[in-house]
Structure 1
Amino acid sequence: MQRQSLCSHELAETMTKILIVKPSSLGDIVQALPVASGLKRHWPAAKVHWVAFRPYDELLALHVSLDRVIPIPFRRWNDQRGWVGLLPWLRSLRQENYELVLDLQGLLRSALISFCTRAPRRVGLWTAREAAILFYTERILEPPGLAQEKYLEFLRHLGISPDPYEFGLVPPPVAIAGLEGKAYVVLHPYARWRTKLWPWRFYQELVDLLPEVFFVVVGEGNWFPLRGKNLLDLRFKLPLSQLAAVLSEAQATVSTDSGPAHLSAALGTPTIVLFGATDWRRMRPVGKNVFVEYYAVPCAPCERRRCPQPNPMVCLSGIEPSRVAALLRRLVAQGDGTKTARNRLTRRTLEI
């Protein structure tokens, strides 16, 4: 430990180039953004680069502390066509002469990317999967608590005090037809897991309960009808940079446990997150205006992608639209005053 502290101190004056390897996914990348901010704050003269899959490179380009975002030449780890161009790409990484590489992904392939840079310091977690730890020169323990803590631990290992709210995103202004001059609330109804989805009909009920609120629907997933004079449907239409801009200007966001929920919270927008199968105590977004809604049943959180119960997903169907509407009405009424509010947690308990 003394040797590592000495190295961090010595490098404080000489560190010139750092690489962060965190290719995916959206929510994880957002949680890891304070790592780039902390590195730049500690070593302002250093060049900080980030390796990511497309389209996440588009979001990372909005980070004020990143000097370069390097897209991986394929979109997913299992994209076999992309591996053809990987060797020249890896050679180009090696030519950057990074002094420090942080593998925040913790998989064998991300560790191999780190190793191929030939950086003298390659840092990863002891809990990294698929024997990735064999390719690190320094290994750190994953702390308990919020999922974001494992990323902040990289900064602590380097002697840097982390700021969990230092996300560093500055979305550009964007003009979208139908939104000119409007105050609005964003709805994001999608998630990768079925057990994270609030019933579709509840979104229509929410829109109907708040005719005075203008809603913007975003995201990609199974299409379902949503209607109302107080609604603009932007599903399947927004690249990440525009999504960030829309979220940053919203009065509030209502979302499943998903990447856009983390992004909304990181941008300082009051964010209501609807939790079902996943554990809000670990997985909730980090932000100063985060509101968690969940329905406590004995089987939740189960962390399952499919619900085995005879009355499936009561953990989500128990979150009534009227309850969400009441909270949303308060947030909209408070307006920009919620920007300085502290995190809040709300719960709905089912007695069985």
Structure 2
Amino acid sequence: PKGHFRDLVERLVEELGVDVVLVGGEEDVPYVKGFVDELACSDGVADLTGKLKLPELVELLKRSALYVGNDSSILHLAVALGVPTVSFFGPETPDLYGPLGDAHKVFYADLPCSPCLAAYNFKSSDCEDNICLERIGVEEVFDACRQMLAEGG
């Protein structure tokens, strides 16, 4: 959820002093702009959403201490490049698609309605209630980020 991402970015910048780079495809630009405009802190945040080609994204990820984001192609690219990750799964299950290993922390609400999407069998959903992601708290995600960054991730 947009408010969760905004709050997490603010805490990472203000409390941990990390630089945050926002990435995504062109289709993500309106969503990201929506919460970037609401950020209390603009120093330490670079919005590169919709601006990077794949080779540039790969180079950025290689230099990243941590990737934080939803289940997406960028998450899986970060995992393949050996970048530690903190990821969120809601409509899809991490049992099939989640990163494995100690360098990755996965958040999943495990509700009875999830997974409501499944790429492997083309299961789709018109669910507009993202409670599966709303239930993942900013505090627990921030704590995971802090721990992984402290461990050198």
Class of the TM-score when normalised by the shorter of the 2 chains = 0.7 to 0.9
Aligned equivalents of 1:231, 1:285: Cα separation in 2: 26
Q: Offset of 1:217 from its aligned partner?
A: 0.3
Give deviations 1:141-190, integer Å, cap 9, x for gaps.
xxxxxxxxxxxxxxxxxxxxxxxxxxxxxxxxxxxxxxxxxxxxxxxxxx
Partner of 2:145: 328
Partner of 1:200: 2
CA contact (8 A) 1:273 1:293 kept: yes
User: Does structure 1 residue 306 correspond to structure 2 residue 126?
Assistant: yes
Aligned equivalents of 1:249, 1:305: Cα separation in 2: 36
Higher-Rg structure is: 1
* Structure possessing the higher relative contact order (Cα contacts under 8 Å, 6 or more residues apart): 2
Partner of 1:274: 88
Partner of 2:22: 217
Partner of 1:293: 107
CA contact (8 A) 1:276 1:301 kept: yes
SS of alignment partner, residue 88 of structure 2: strand
Q: Offset of 1:216 from its aligned partner?
A: 0.5
1:243 to 54, 57, 80: 57
Q: Where in structure 1 do 4 or more consecutive aligned residues deviate above 6 Å? A: none
Q: Offset of 1:258 from its aligned partner?
A: 0.6
Aligned equivalents of 2:126, 2:69: Cα separation in 1: 19
Change (3 A) 1:265 1:287: farther
Aligned equivalents of 1:302, 1:260: Cα separation in 2: 21
CA contact (8 A) 1:209 1:322 kept: no
Aligned length: 135
Aligned equivalents of 1:250, 1:293: Cα separation in 2: 20
Unaligned runs of 5+ residues in structure 1 are: 1-198, 339-352
Q: Offset of 1:305 from its aligned partner?
A: 3.8
Alignment of 1:225-236 (within 5 A): 225-226=35-36, 227=39, 228=41, 229-236=43-50
CA contact (8 A) 2:29 2:49 kept: no
> RMSD between aligned alpha carbons?
1.7
User: Could you tell me the TM-score, scaled by structure 2's length?
Assistant: 0.81
User: Could you tell me the TM-score, scaled by structure 1's length?
Assistant: 0.37
Aligned equivalents of 2:59, 2:145: Cα separation in 1: 20
Aligned equivalents of 1:215, 1:231: Cα separation in 2: 5
* Percent of aligned pairs with the same amino acid: 32
Amino acid at match of 2:11: L
Higher helix share: 2
Q: Offset of 1:296 from its aligned partner?
A: 2.1
2:136 to 319, 333, 347: 319
SS of alignment partner, residue 35 of structure 2: coil
Q: Offset of 1:321 from its aligned partner?
A: 1.1
Change (3 A) 1:261 1:283: same
Unaligned runs of 5+ residues in structure 2 are: 118-123
Amino acid at match of 1:208: E
